[in-house]
Amino acid sequence: MVSPAVALLIFGAAALLLAGVFWPRQGLVARLMRLAALTERVRLEDAVKHLHDCDYRGQPASVESVAGALEVTRARAVGFVARLEALGLVRTSAERVVLTSVGRAEALRLLRSHRLWERYLADRTGLGPAEWHDEAERLEHRLSPTKVEALASSMGHPVYDPHGDPIPTAAGKLPPRAGFAVTALRPGQAASIVHLEDEPRAVFEQLVAAGLAPGMQVQLLDASAERVRLLADGRVHALEPVIATNITVAPTEGLPEPAGPFETLADLETGDRVVVRDIAPVCQGPQRRRLLDLGLVPGTEVAVEFRGPLGEPIAYRIRGAVIALRREQAELVRIERDGASVEAAT
């Protein structure tokens, strides 16, 4: 027979367990319900973004495309589309799903939040390029419109994300899609990279590993069904055509800048004096800010003071101050020798 004390303990434990499970707002059931509601909202918002992306690219959207984008069954996609239609965000026909004006405004709000987060992650954190998109996907659903504008203001209202995509304005303005795949260039033709597609992630990682970035000048050397060869920053890149099509370029106005090779601070010898041309586009975020803060801006005169016993660090005199850079940092600063007029370092 169970003693009264033991029975009381069992009752108390059971009561605590039930309270932990069913307690209003803080109980396990309440938390799971909020999580389910959040997941549902995120799915609906992702569906709205997908529909806008299809419209922006001039591609038809359907229940099937929604299912593929959200990685859900067609039956679930039908439910999401029906919910969006009930909210007045989409119109449906036998074959297509189209955003209403209200739905488009919501899509642009989400897109603005996403691309602002990507810009923030690239410029203000040490997160690698391959992580920007996924982290922004997680964060974009958490900001109210007021906080989105506060984020934009804290960064000086950037116009482009780190992949080269335009950031919708607070008024919901987005420039039309521009540029074309690098594979459309003629052999020998040069252009400027305006966008690197960040999905799928595996493709984007290959482009980043190749050292490619928006703002970089490229020249198509040749193309075949097996490979596409590009010249960028003095390096030849051989890519599979399916990878190369994820590089969007635009013609350069006037005479195109050379696609390389470029000399960098790392190529100099002690006593050399040059002028900074620019910082390689592939250098972004905190590292780029640090180099700019050191005074390595276009037109700055630089003199090599000395090298370490093993070749690095390398000491440079910049605007009267001596700074030390590792070789990998010096390779990011492109220079010009012609016209350099560095006065003697004192």
- pLDDT at res. 284: 78
Q: 300: which DSSP letter?
A: -
Write the pLDDT tens digit of every residue in 299-308: 899 999 888 7
Find the mean pLDDT for residues 232-246. Answer: 90
Do 198 and 53 contact (CB within 8 A), yes or no?
A: no
Band (103; pLDDT cuts 50, 70, 90): very high
CB < 8 Å & 24+ apart, contacts of 239-245: 239/206, 239/210, 241/183, 242/203, 243/203, 243/206, 243/207, 244/181, 244/182, 244/183, 245/181, 245/182, 245/183
Q: Which residue has the higher pLDDT, 243 or 26?
A: 243
Per-chain mean pLDDT for the chain: 83
- Residue 212 clears pLDDT 70, i.e. is over it: yes
- pLDDT at res. 35: 35
Task: State how far the Cα of 244 lies from the Cα of 133, in Å rounded to an integer.
Answer: 19
Band (38; pLDDT cuts 50, 70, 90): very low
Let me know how long the chain is: 346
- Residue 135 clears pLDDT 60, i.e. is over it: yes
Write the pLDDT tens digit of every residue in 13-31: 655 555 555 554 454 544 4
For residue 18, count CB atoms less than 10 angstroms from its CB and return exposed for 0-12, middle for 13-18, buried for 19 or more: exposed
Find the mean pLDDT for residues 158-181. Answer: 90
- pLDDT at res. 75: 93
- pLDDT at res. 257: 62
- pLDDT at res. 319: 87
Tokens linked to 118 = 């990507």
Write the pLDDT tens digit of every residue in 108-134: 999 999 999 999 998 888 788 888 988
Write the pLDDT tens digit of every residue in 273-299: 999 988 888 787 788 888 888 889 888
Task: State how far the Cα of 195 lies from the Cα of 205, in Å rounded to an integer.
Answer: 14
- Residue 242 clears pLDDT 50, i.e. is over it: yes
Find the mean pLDDT for residues 25-51. Answer: 66
Find the mean pLDDT for residues 228-233. Answer: 90
